[in-house]
């Protein structure tokens, strides 16, 4: 569900092409069996898929101007539609339909800020094994634990990828303006690679009616990008 690339890739512009990071037609995805069965995720759980047509890349920049040592929660799911009375609406970056996955590549413009990632709110992704510490954005020491700075995923060469399907628990991104500056504009560039999926059957049937293992399924299951359920991202 999350892919991080080493910041050194941002400097390797000669040998890295966008398609090395972005999914394209024919790319494979496999979903963990931890996605709950009998739910919205029935179509995905344990399945193996390929991108059925050329993806469409949609940019969606989001900025917040904040005081020093202030932060805001950005919910990128579709859970709270715009216009919902009495609520801060979520940013609607998830697919609305099944059989679609959005590859969301997050870049950050330069500034004196960092971001924390939760899925959903209060479940930290970039924590450590110890229960004694966690990325606490209210704590002067632990707010830096697992934080991502603009240099980790620059807007012109983003390296941080989130994956989302319909009705998935919300990714919450919290930009925090660090000390040393009175105000800062935290600008995030979301590059949403919209991929339609088609399932790869585990078996095929030959002309004689005999079933056999689909070679593409075997290869995709081995090499496809694994999309874990959010509970698999923590606890270790």
Question: Which parts of this chain interact with other proteins (CB under 8 A)?
Answer: 61-67, 69-73, 109-111, 182-185, 187, 189
How, if at all, do strands 160-164 and 100-108 pair? antiparallel
How, if at all, do strands 28-31 and 225-227 pair? parallel
Nearer to other proteins, 109 or 149 (CB): 109
Q: How far is the CB of 219 from other proteins (least distance, A)?
A: 41
Using an 8 Å Cβ cutoff, are 99 and 167 in contact? no
Using an 8 Å Cβ cutoff, are 53 and 199 in contact? no
Nearer to other proteins, 3 or 64 (CB): 64
Nearer to other proteins, 112 or 214 (CB): 112
Q: How far is the CB of 6 from other proteins (least distance, A)?
A: 25
Contacts 24+ apart (CB under 8 A), 214-218: 216/50, 217/48
Whole-number Å distance between alpha carbons of 170 and 133:
23
Nearer to other proteins, 185 or 223 (CB): 185
Nearer to other proteins, 109 or 221 (CB): 109
Whole-number Å distance between alpha carbons of 16 and 159:
11
Q: How far is the CB of 127 from other proteins (least distance, A)?
A: 20
Whole-number Å distance between alpha carbons of 205 and 67:
63
Q: How far is the CB of 26 from other proteins (least distance, A)?
A: 33
Q: How far is the CB of 57 from other proteins (least distance, A)?
A: 17
Q: Provide the 3-class DSSP secondary structure of residue 191.
A: strand
């Amino acid at each position: 569900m999350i892919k991080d690339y080493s910041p050194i890739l941002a400097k390797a512009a000669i040998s890295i092409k966008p398609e090395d990071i972005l999914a394209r037609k024919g790319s494979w995805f496999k979903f963990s069996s931890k996605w709950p069965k009998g739910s919205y995720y029935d179509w995905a759980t344990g399945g193996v898929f390929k991108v059925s047509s050329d993806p469409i890349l949609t940019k969606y920049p989001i900025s917040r101007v904040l005081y020093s040592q202030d932060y805001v929660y950005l919910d990128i799911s579709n859970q709270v539609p715009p216009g919902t009375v009495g609520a801060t609406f979520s940013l609607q970056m998830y697919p609305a339909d099944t059989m679609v996955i959005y590859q969301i590549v997050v870049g950050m413009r330069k500034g004196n800020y960092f971001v924390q990632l939760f899925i959903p709110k209060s479940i930290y992704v970039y924590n450590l094994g110890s229960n004694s510490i966690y990325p606490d954005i209210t704590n002067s020491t632990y707010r830096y634990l697992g934080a991502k700075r603009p240099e980790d995923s620059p807007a012109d060469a983003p390296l941080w990828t989130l994956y989302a399907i319909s009705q998935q628990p919300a990714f919450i991104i919290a930009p925090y303006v660090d000390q040393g500056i009175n105000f800062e504009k935290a600008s995030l560039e979301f590059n949403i690679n919209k991929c339609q999926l088609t399932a790869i059957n585990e078996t095929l049937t030959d002309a004689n009616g005999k079933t056999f293992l689909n070679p593409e399924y075997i290869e995709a299951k081995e090499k496809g990008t694994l999309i874990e359920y959010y509970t698999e991202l923590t606890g270790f």
